Amino acid sequence: MFFALSIVSAGLSFAGALPDSGVTATVLFTAAASTTTVYTPQWVPQYLVFETATVPSALQLELLGGGDQLVNLTGAMITALNNFLKPSLVSAAGQYVIPIADGLIRAKNINISITNATAVAFTVFGVSRNLSGGRYLKSKINTVLANSGQIFTDFDALLMPAMASTDSLVLTDKFGKSDNFEPDSLEDLSSLDQAVVQAQVNNMDRRFAEANFTPAANRDVTTLQWLKRLV
């Protein structure tokens, strides 16, 4: 990821045909000030990379042809996903590296929509370190009502940046053992995988079969799942 961040800081870009090996970084579009910008590339980069003093208020990706919404993120979730599984803080404040695929996926049209609520435009790059991608990132925002538990299954990660000490999260592993987790314990677990600690569940190895979240107030929870390439 350091290469991608260096590109943003230096203002560099690599245009033209997409190579079959190495790393590709291309200027995609400019997110205009105080509005929503939609861009439609004919390929899916591994990361969206940009630099802005204020986090965008929304980021959405839609796969064209089938109308499937792949990514739907609020500002808080953009920040949470930016930190997800980052082992070190190589980026400065205001720099974002948002994964949207496991590598470059060719010959696919998507809509990338970014809502920039500030009065300053910023450039969005498409960066890929793996040029043979096969999986999209699928995200979904779930609003869990106060004192009304919701069960999550078949997920690769849960992002819960607003989780409070009065909330309850019960994780059940694939062997049927259940444990209750508070924000502090989830932050401790996240410190094993990344530099920025936050309330989240890393389930990339599918150790957990189920998560039962009961908040004391309405909370947004984002589920992440890696999908096989959609034809």
Topology of domain 139-228, CATH: Jelly Rolls (2.60.120)
Contact assessment for residue 173 and residue 104, using Cβ atoms and an 8 Å cutoff = no
User: Could you tell me which of 220, 222, 201, 216 has the C-alpha nearest to residue 148?
Assistant: 216
pLDDT (0 to 100) of residue 23: 78
Contact assessment for residue 31 and residue 40, using Cβ atoms and an 8 Å cutoff = no
0.85 cut: is pTM over it? no
d(CA 79, CA 98): 9
Topology of domain 2-14+27-135, CATH: Jelly Rolls (2.60.120)
For 16-80, give the secondary structure using H, E and C: CCCCCCCCEEEEEEEECCCEEEEECCCEECCEEEEECCCCCCEEEEEECCCCEEEEEEEHHHHHH
Q: Is the pLDDT score of 16 beyond 50?
A: no
Could you read off the pLDDT of 114-129 as tens digits, one per residue? 999 999 999 999 999 8
Segment 153-159 mean pLDDT: 93
d(CA 121, CA 50): 11
Could you read off the pLDDT of 60-113 as tens digits, one per residue? 999 887 667 789 999 999 988 887 877 665 556 788 989 999 899 988 889 999
Contact assessment for residue 221 and residue 140, using Cβ atoms and an 8 Å cutoff = no
pLDDT (0 to 100) of residue 41: 93
Segments of the chain assigned to CATH 2.60.120:
2-14+27-135, 139-228
